[in-house]
Amino acid sequence: MSNQAESMTAQVARGLEGIVAAATHISEVDGENGRLTLRGYDVNELSGRVTFEEVAYLLWYGKLPNRAEYNELCAEMSAARDLPVPVLEALRVLAPHASGMHILRIAASMLSIGDDDVDNLDHAQCQRRAARIQAQMPALVAHTWRLKNGLDIVPPRREHGLAEGFLYMLEGKEPSQARIDGMNAYLVAISEHGLNASTFTGRCIISTDSDMVSAQTGAIGALKGPKHGGVPGPVLKMLHEIGTPDRAESWIRAELAAGHRIMGFGHRVYKVRDPRAALLSAAAEKMVALTGDTSLFDLTRAVEQTTVRVLAEVKPGRDLYANVELYAALILHEVGVDSELFTPCFAIGRTAGWTAHMIEQIQDNRLIRPSAVYVGPRGLQWLPMDIR
């Protein structure tokens, strides 16, 4: 049988599309109906009612915490927020030379420092390690940002929750409640989303019986790519270029005519509006009502409406609607986070889901090892170097 014939008989799922690679209790992404379920809860049931720490506990332990469990988790994460001295010293040297996801990938790889039992994959140990990694991610992002910009590190405060603590470490001042609520809503919305590229990477790494810090670092590397997590910054750039709602249609049509993708629209799974876009839109609307400046929110909503209409005309049948990145860009901007940190902030929130999947993979582990179909030449003959 020829190579071509062999490749035709084997069913190659490019990008593993349509391949079921895991059975999970963690989340369900219903692309046809636009629903996201976390451990049995529709994400709409949780939005605006729970803190990010509660969602993290839900993902790690399979249930929402009671008051005692919640307080214990918050105390555990608060105590873990201080980075080890060797990590801080390394960040001071490295941060001026890298930025964004590059420095976060480097920094995350150092989280094994201070964890003398990092290779222990015991279930309870992994749950505690998940809380530790989650607690330290905001510190990594905030500290490296400040160091890169010539500012001193702001040590964390024990009384802060994760969202409040991140903004405090980033700026060195107490954030307003509106900004804390906006950041918390963002982190809840993006905490977990099934077997996406970064989550799959983390599960692949942990399936080798490697450690959670290595899996976390690999997941960050996967998230960095613009086809996965690197889009919120360009979304904000797009909104600024459009400028006003009346310019939206001409700008969008020009981009499509040039063969460019419209950032913040379309999703590999969702065939309707991304439910996380709805959550973040509602959170942003609540936030701008408090701040009094609705201009960017109004522009974003107008751009969404116009883009969906134009895409339906230009690309009929493609089911291209707003995804999470459109309103993620808006809410992070309203919270006051620099666009360079949009994807690192995504990594902070998604750490809850990544680590939950690592824990689940370890519980019923089998080395992830898919096959490939060879379609290259055969029968080549070796020739000496001088006559090749």
Which residue numbers are catalytic? Answer: 267, 325
Which amino acid belongs to residue 359? Answer: I
CA distance 386 to 388: 6
Concatenating the DSSP letter of every residue in 226-256 gives: TTTT--HHHHHHHHHHH-SGGGHHHHHHHHH
Question: Which are the contacts of 53, defined by CB distance < 8 A and separation ≥ 6?
Answer: 70, 73, 74, 77, 161, 162
Burial class of residue 166 (count of CB atoms within 10 Å of its CB; 0-12, 13-18, 19+): buried
Q: What is the DSSP code (8-state) at residue 113?
A: T
- Give me the DSSP letters along 185-223: HHHHHTS--SS-HHHHHHHHHHTTT--HHHHHHHHHHHH
Write down the residue that tokens 């008051």 correspond to: 67
Residues 6+ apart with CB under 8 A from 286: 181
